[in-house]
Amino acid sequence: MRRLLVALAASCSLMGRMSHKPPSYIAAHIRRVLIDGGSAPHTIDVQRFFKHEVKSRGWRTPELRELAKRFRRTILVEGGLSYLIQVADQLFAGEVVEEKAFAVLLLEGMTPQFGPQEFKLFESWLDRITSWADHDGLVHYLIGPMVVSNDRYLSRLTVWAKGKSVWHRRAAAVALIQSTRQHKNFEHVRAMTELLLESSDDMVQKGLGWLLREAAKANPEETVAYLMTIRDRTPRFVLRTACETLDSATRQRVLGGPRSRTIVKNS
């Protein structure tokens, strides 16, 4: 808590200092705050969630979110929305887990104010992804809500699903989760599933399984009917994940019969 209070004081110190300062200056200030308020022991805990080595400052998400809210208020007052987005863009260019998370948290909940220009920017961030954490924060909290609010973005998901990039293909599935929870775009859930079923990459399979699990929670009857039609050609991991929230009898009905493909390629 003490380090959070110190970090919050640093956000207040920005007031009156932002005039004529480039976004890179504010991003550098935030990076310094994240370093000074980091926790070495928690950095070790963070690493346990990843198969490969990541750079972390050891922040817990609730504290990081609270800090981002304070910085957001200050930056909006001093520089406005466009300036805030530029600061986030600077932060998402780094390799540190908390820097990219902070970029997303700065903009979280503001997607109703964004349009095609911001969507194009967020899409470009997919090329900067270094881990599933970067990816899921960006796609679930920024891109996904924009897809829910405007069907014009759905066509980009089809492009991503057909691409070579693992993170773009995972995004094609994860970007529909918010829609699924609001009982929208189920036809696109089916379309994305058909495009992604052949992937043997575990990151893509996990994203697709997550999407189908949410679809089964929000629309169980239609989703189960669809799963029954694809179960024999669906990777076993995807099918098991999709059935996690179903009752035992329904889950057994979907998982029963000929075994699905089990090949998973680790990233």
SS (H, E, C) 61-108: HHHHHHHHHHHHHHHHHHHCHHHHHHHHHHHCCCCEHHHHHHHHHHHC
Query: 94 and 143: one domain?
Result: no
Specify the CATH number for the domain of residue 186. Answer: 1.25.10.90
Q: What is the pLDDT of residue 50?
A: 57
Domain boundary among 88, 108, 128: 108
> What's the rounded Cα separation, in Å, for the pair 144 and 165?
18
pLDDT value, residue 252: 94
φ, ψ of residue 27 to 5 degrees: the values are -60, -40
C-alpha 45/C-alpha 58 separation (Å) is: 8
Same domain, 137 and 232: yes
- Provide the domain limits for residue 63: 1-108
76 and 188 together in one domain:
no
| Residues 130 and 213 grouped into a single domain | yes
Q: At what angle do helices 2-12 and 61-79 cross, to 10 degrees?
A: 10
pTM: predicted TM-score of the whole model, two decimal places: 0.86
Tell me the average pLDDT of the chain: 88
**What is the token pair recorded at 127?**
């090329």
Which parts of the chain have pLDDT scores under 50? 2, 5, 260, 262-263, 265-267
* Whole-number pLDDT of residue 16: 56
